[in-house]
Structure formats: structure tokens, C-alpha cells
Structure 1
Amino acid sequence: MRNRKKLKKHVVTAITAAKEIFDHNLGDECTAYKTALKYGVCRNVLQKAFKDEYGVGIRDYRLRVRMEKSKDMLAAGKDAKEISITLHYSNPSAFNNAFKRYFKVTPKEMFDFTEGDSFCA
């Protein structure tokens, strides 16, 4: 971390713990506010330090984690309903919309290969 020497030890602990929490809790129940409160830092300090450390804000980081997980689940044959439940979306349509905004294609378009499709030339 570039600014780690400038940060207090409890802030470094908080951003490290926040990343771990966000990597393993894919729903919305673990917010930046709750995480900051748990580690005794201001939410704004947590957000700025997190962005400085990982190069992306908390919201964008959490979205990336969820979308990568959803892509893995789709590749494993899971359907949108199961993914939306696992990733704590309100419904499959909300998941499909988020996926399309992030990847610029629908889940079906990304993983719907016909028998004639080939990856080899």
C-alpha cells in the first residue's frame, strides 16, 4: 500500500478486514458503514483508504466480486434464479439487469452456445 505508513494501524486493519469481508459476503448486509463501525473508523476514511489500497472504491469492488462469482456460477451451469438468490439480488430480473450493465451482454448471451459454435478455428 502506498499510503500505509501514513495510516493509523487500526485503519490498515479495517481495510484489510473489509476486503476479506467483502470477498466472502456477497450480499448487501455487510455495508461499508457497518464495517467501519465495527472497526472504529469513519466510513469516509475507510472508503478512501480502501480505494488508495486496492485502486477501486468499495461499491465497485463489491460489484466486481459479485459479477465474477456470477460468471463462475453461470459457467458451472447454475440458472439466474439460483444465482440471484445466492448473490442476494431481489429477483432474477434484477440480477440479469446488473449482469448486463456490467458485462454488456446478458447471462444467456454470454453462456448460450449452440452446437455449431466452436472455439477452435
Structure 2
Amino acid sequence: MGPSRQFPATEPLPGIHHQHPQRSPTDQALGIPAARLDPQIHAEHHEVAWQVRGRSQMNLEGKIIELAENDALWIPAGLTHSAQVHPDSVIFPYFFPVDDTATVLDDASLAHLHHDETIYFLALKQMTTTIIHSRINLARQVLSILEHRILGGDELPRPRTPAAAAVAEALLFNPGDDRTIAQWAGEVHASVRSLERAFLRDTGLTLRQWRLHTRMNAARSLLATGASIASVSHRVGYTSPNSFTRAFRTFFGATPSQFRQQNSPPSSPVGHRPAALRAES
């Protein structure tokens, strides 16, 4: 993840340069007053604060973070935080249970969402507030977006053929995507044979092998954070911890439990303050 840097309490995060566009005549005020969120701490849930509209100021144990439209702030469990929401602003919170969430995001982190990524956040909010549900695991999609924006990509060889490259990008984005090869071929308007041949020619791996590498790389990173085997298996697309354990042992030559014992970081008390905040540039 690279070296971390300490920031004075009032210094803005590097890499985020907000430019606030002028409002159009049709962008009317919403009549929403300013609001203050008193200091709080969630010991059993991680939180994401998505600035849908306007601006907010977050205070993470003395670190002042300015949020502009489409900024998303990852707040790990155990971190005391408060907020000042500006007038005519909209901010949505999302909560992820610690015991059920496997993620490599261990520090408070700031990301700026692309416009086409915000639909996943809106859809997840709809799922949690209405009876309308998606067949896709939207919480997993949202976590993948944040990890991609904050931490970047991987080292697997990428296919060059457009259809295969689109599949690879989607699998890197969400290693747990369980669509079959035939379904992927239909998504990118290619035949199964041409898709498989493109992966093998461009990467030296079949599509099945390439997806397995993606899942195992993601699982290894998640296990190293101390996440439970059950949550990791779910995150990377396995229907049961047992099937995940078999695949992991075949791939790495060690069970997830053995790997985690060798690579888990030292435990820290609840409320431990992260060393620094990361920002997506």
C-alpha cells in the first residue's frame, strides 16, 4: 500500500482538487438546512459517507476532510467521527458489518467516484430502503469500486482483444462475479470459443484460470487483513467456505487458516486511529 504520511489536522488531503462548477439556472436550491452530526463511533460496522450533492466537512479524530460532490469517505469501525453538512447538501451513509465484510481497506480513505459508478451506490441505497432488490450483490460491487479507486489494480497480464479485455476488467472489478463463460460471451457479443482463445493467446491463461488467479489474489489480500474465512469466501464468489478452502489449498498449497495465521497483522484495540488518510488522485 506504500508509505503513509502524517497530515496536520487542518491540512487538506493531497490528490483531491475540487472545482465547484457554477450552478445552472435550473439548479434550484432545495431548502435543506445545514446539519451537524455529533461525534459517534461504530464498533461493529464500517461506514461509507457518499456526498451526493453539495459539501460536507468530516472530522475524523482531529483530521478535517472536505467532501465535495461524488466524494466517498471510507470510515473503518472504531473511528470516532463527526460531520458538518452544508446547506442544500445531500450525504448518504452506508454501513458494512465488520464480521461479514472482507475488505483490504484498513485505514480511513477518500475516493472520488466516477459518474457511472454512482448508480451502484444509488441501487444499494434503494435495496436497503425499499422492497426492490437486485440479483447482483451490490454491497460487494460498492466495496470493489472503493478498493479500486483507493488502492489501484493488480499485476495479472491483461488480454488485448476488446471483448476479452471487457471481461477481464469486470472480473478485476468484482472477482466474486459468478457469471458463467457462456454468459460472459453473451455480454460481450462473442462466442465462447473466441473468448477463451483470446484469453489464452493474450495472457497464457484460459479464462477459467485467469478468473481463478483473480479470485485467489483477492482472497490472499483479504485474508491478510484478518477477515473471516466465511466473509472472504463470499466476497470472492464461492458458495461455501469449504469449496473456497479446497480451491485456496490447491492454488497456494496451504489452507486459508494456515495462510491467515502466517500473515495476519497484529490485532489493534477498537478505536485505534489510522496512521494516515489515503486519497485517490
- After TM superposition, the score normalised by the length of structure 1 is 0.77
1:71 aligns with 2:227: no
Secondary structure (helix, strand or coil) at the match of 1:90 reads coil
Q: CA deviation at 1:25?
A: 2.6
Indicate which of 240, 265, 273 corresponds to 1:91. Answer: 240
Q: What code does the residue aligned with 1:63 have?
A: L
**1:23 counterpart residue number:** 172
User: In 2, Cα distance between the equivalents of 1:109 and 1:40?
Assistant: 42
Indicate which of 36, 58, 80 corresponds to 2:207. Answer: 58
**1:106 counterpart residue number:** 255
State the superposition RMSD in angstroms: 1.6
Q: CA deviation at 1:69?
A: 0.6
Moved over 3 A (4+): none
**1:82 counterpart residue number:** 231
- Give the number of aligned pairs: 103
- Larger fraction in helix: 1
**1:44 counterpart residue number:** 193
- Larger fraction in strand: 2
| Contact kept? 1:21, 1:30, Cα under 8 Å | no
Larger Rg: 2
- After TM superposition, the score normalised by the length of structure 2 is 0.35
Stretches of structure 2 that go unaligned for 5 or more consecutive residues are 1-159, 263-281
Q: What code does the residue aligned with 1:13 have?
A: P
User: In 2, Cα distance between the equivalents of 1:88 and 1:41?
Assistant: 24
User: In 2, Cα distance between the equivalents of 1:49 and 1:36?
Assistant: 12
Cα deviation digits, residues 77-98 of structure 1 (max 9, x gap): 1010111121221211111111
Q: CA deviation at 1:62?
A: 0.4
| Contact kept? 1:81, 1:91, Cα under 8 Å | yes
Q: CA deviation at 1:29?
A: 2.7
User: In 1, Cα distance between the equivalents of 2:259 and 2:225?
Assistant: 13
| Contact kept? 1:22, 1:30, Cα under 8 Å | no
